Chains A and B, each alone.
Chain A
C-alpha cells in the first residue's frame, strides 16, 4: 500500500509525535520556570510564588562569574587549538598520500568514540606521572582531544569537495603556499570551519566528565552547576544561569545554521 503524501496522519500518531516532542522539551521549560520561583530549598510544583530576585542574587555571586569566565576561556582556547590542529590534519589527510595516513585518520577520530571517562582517567594519570599541576591548560588539553575531532571531521568533508586542481591552479598562476591558503583554500573551507568551531565551543562549554579528571579544584560552569544542585541554598540561581546560557548560546547556533545551510554559496571572495 502506498501512502498518500497529502493524507492526514492518524490521530494516535499525532498524539505520539506531540508526546515525544513534549517529553524532550518540557523539562527545559521547567528549568526556566524554576528560575522565577520564590522557594529556594526544593523544587516543588507548582511554585508557591514568582519573583525576579534570583537574577539580582546571581549577578552578585562571584563564584558564578568565576565559573563562567573559566568556561569561556577554556572553550575559546580549546576551539582555537582545535581549529588550527584540526584544519592542518584534515589538509594533510585529504590532500596528500603518505605512509600511515589511514592510521592517523583513525587515531584522530578515536577520542570522540572513547568514553569521556577513559580519556579523563588517562589524562589524569598522565598529568600526575609527569607532575603537571592542574591549571586552565590541563582542562584545555582534555577538551582539545575531542574538539580537534569535530573540526577535523567538518574540514575533511569540505576538503574532499574542494578539487585538488584548484590548489594546483593557484600555484600555477604564481601563488605561493601561503597565498594559496589565504585566497583559495580558506574561502572554500571557511563555513565548514565556522560550523566545526561552534560545535567544538559548545562541546567544550558543557563538558563535565573529562573536566572532573583534569580540572582539580577548578570549577567550570557545568561543574559549578553540579555542585550547586547538591547543596540546598539559593537553588534557583542555577536555573537563572542555565536560562542565560541557553539564550546566549542559542543565537550563534542559529546563525551557524543559516550560514552553513547552503554550502555551495560561500560568502566573501577572500579579498
Chain B
C-alpha cells in the first residue's frame, strides 16, 4: 500500500541548525499519526515540510506516491489547521470556510452550500455571517478545522491545534477530532508537545528530539517499551534506573525504565521482583497517591490507587513489580 506521507532520510538544516535530521517515516493512509516532542525538536518543521512551507535540504518526500519536493503548498492536496488558526480577519466565517473553494473557482452557490455543511459538521451551523473576531478560541478552532476539511484533503495536518484551549475544552475536542477522523477516513498528522494528547488520540506516535525520531510506534509501544531514556522521560513519567542498579535486580548491565504505576506496595507475589525501601514523601493527586521511596540511595516514584492504604513517611515498605515491567533501554 502506498504511504500517505513518506519521508526518506529527510533533513532540513537552517545554516548550522539541524531542525530535521535524517528522518525516515511512513504515515499509512487513514491513520491518525502524532508527532510528539518538546519545542525545537523538529516536529513542526516536519509538518511544514509536508505542507510545502519548507523544502528539505536533503532526502526525499512523497505524498500518496507523488514526489513533493518543489511542489508549492497550493498544489498539494494537503490542508493545515494552524496553531494560531490563521483565520482571515477581513472575511466572514462563511467566506473563510469557502476560501479554498473560491480560489479554485467553484461556483458561489455550490461553495456556500459546502461551507455551510462543513460548519454544521464542526457544530457551528448558522455562524457563517460572523467575523473571526466575534468567536471564542474554541469556536475559531472549529472554523479552522472546517476551512481545511471543506477542501477534502488527502492528508490533514494539525499544528498543536488544541494548545490554546483550556483543559475541559481540550479533552472534548480530542474526542471530537478522533470521531471526525474515523468518520471521514482522512489521514491526520498531528503535532503536539502534550504526551497525554498523543497517547489518547494517535494510532501511532513518532517521538522527536533534536531533529531526529527517537521512537516510532503505537502509543502502547512507546509508553510501555520506551527505546531511549528521552522517550521514557518525555512520555509519561518514569523511574530511570542506572545500569548498576539494574544488575542488582538480576538483569543485564543496562539503563532501564520502570513506570511508577507498575510498582505495588501490597507485598510480594509469586514471580515478582521486590525491593525494600523507606518512604520519603507522599502527595495526594486525586485519583491516586504519588509516593517517593528511597531504595538504598535511589529514589523511586510509586503511583498507587487512592483506594489502597498509604504508608506513613519514614516507614519501611516492600516494593514489588513484574519482571516484564522492568524495561531495558539503549544508553541514550
Closest chain A CB from B28 CB (angstroms): 23
Q: Which residues of A, 158-199, contact B by the 8 Å Cβ criterion?
A: 163, 165-166, 168-176, 179, 183-184, 187-188
Write out the residue numbers on chain B whose beta carbons fall within 8 Å of the beta carbon of A183: 99, 102-103
Q: Which residues of B, 63-86, contact A by the 8 Å Cβ criterion?
A: 72-74, 78-80, 82-84, 86
Q: Does B238 touch A at the CB level, under 8 Å?
A: no
Are A179 and B103 in contact (CB-based, < 8 A)? yes
Given A173-B79, A173-B147, residue A168 in contact with residue B73 (CB < 8 A): yes
The CA-CA distance from A268 to B90 in the complex, in Å, is: 8
Closest chain A CB from B101 CB (angstroms): 9
Write out the residue numbers on chain B whose beta carbons fall within 8 Å of the beta carbon of A169: 80, 82, 86-88
User: Which of A173, A184, A264, A271 sits near B100, CB closer than 8 Å?
Assistant: A173
Given A174-B103, A174-B151, residue A188 in contact with residue B89 (CB < 8 A): yes
Q: Does A96 touch B at the CB level, under 8 Å?
A: no
The CA-CA distance from A176 to B100 in the complex, in Å, is: 11
Closest chain A CB from B111 CB (angstroms): 11
Are A271 and B95 in contact (CB-based, < 8 A)? yes
Given A173-B103, A174-B100, A174-B151, residue A165 in contact with residue B84 (CB < 8 A): yes
Q: Does B91 touch A at the CB level, under 8 Å?
A: yes
Are A165 and B86 in contact (CB-based, < 8 A)? yes
- What band does the interface of chain A fall in when counting residues whose beta carbon is under 8 Å from B? 20 to 34
Given A165-B82, A179-B103, A269-B95, residue A172 in contact with residue B51 (CB < 8 A): yes
Closest chain A CB from B276 CB (angstroms): 56
Q: Which residues of A, 73-118, contact B by the 8 Å Cβ criterion?
A: none
Q: Does A270 touch B at the CB level, under 8 Å?
A: yes
Q: Which residues of B, 34-64, contact A by the 8 Å Cβ criterion?
A: 51-53
- What band does the interface of chain B fall in when counting residues whose beta carbon is under 8 Å from A? 20 to 34
Q: Does A266 touch B at the CB level, under 8 Å?
A: yes
Are B72 and A166 in contact (CB-based, < 8 A)? no
Write out the residue numbers on chain B whose beta carbons fall within 8 Å of the beta carbon of A270: 90-91
Task: Fill in one digit per residue for A138-171: 1 if any B CB lies within 8 Å of its CB, else 0.
Answer: 0000000000000000000000000101101111
Are B104 and A174 in contact (CB-based, < 8 A)? yes
Q: Which residues of A, 249-271, contact B by the 8 Å Cβ criterion?
A: 264, 266, 268-271
Are A171 and B73 in contact (CB-based, < 8 A)? yes
The CA-CA distance from A168 to B76 in the complex, in Å, is: 13
Q: Which residues of B, 116-159, contact A by the 8 Å Cβ criterion?
A: 133, 147-148, 151
Instruction: Please give the residue numbers on chain B whose beta carbons come within 8 Å of chain A beta carbons, in ascending order.
Output: 51-53, 72-74, 78-80, 82-84, 86-92, 95, 99-100, 102-104, 133, 147-148, 151
Nearest 8 pairs between A and B by C-beta?
A173-B100, A169-B86, A165-B86, A175-B103, A171-B73, A187-B90, A172-B80, A266-B90
Instruction: Please give the residue numbers on chain A whose beta carbons come within 8 Å of chain B beta carbons, in ascending order.
Output: 163, 165-166, 168-176, 179, 183-184, 187-188, 264, 266, 268-271
| Extra pairs beyond A175-B99, A188-B90 (18, CB < 8 Å) | A163-B84, A165-B84, A165-B86, A168-B73, A168-B82, A171-B73, A173-B100, A173-B148, A174-B100, A175-B103, A176-B74, A183-B99, A187-B90, A188-B89, A269-B90, A269-B92, A270-B91, A271-B102
11 CB < 8 A contacts A-B: A168-B51, A168-B53, A171-B72, A172-B73, A172-B78, A173-B79, A176-B72, A183-B99, A188-B90, A264-B133, A271-B102
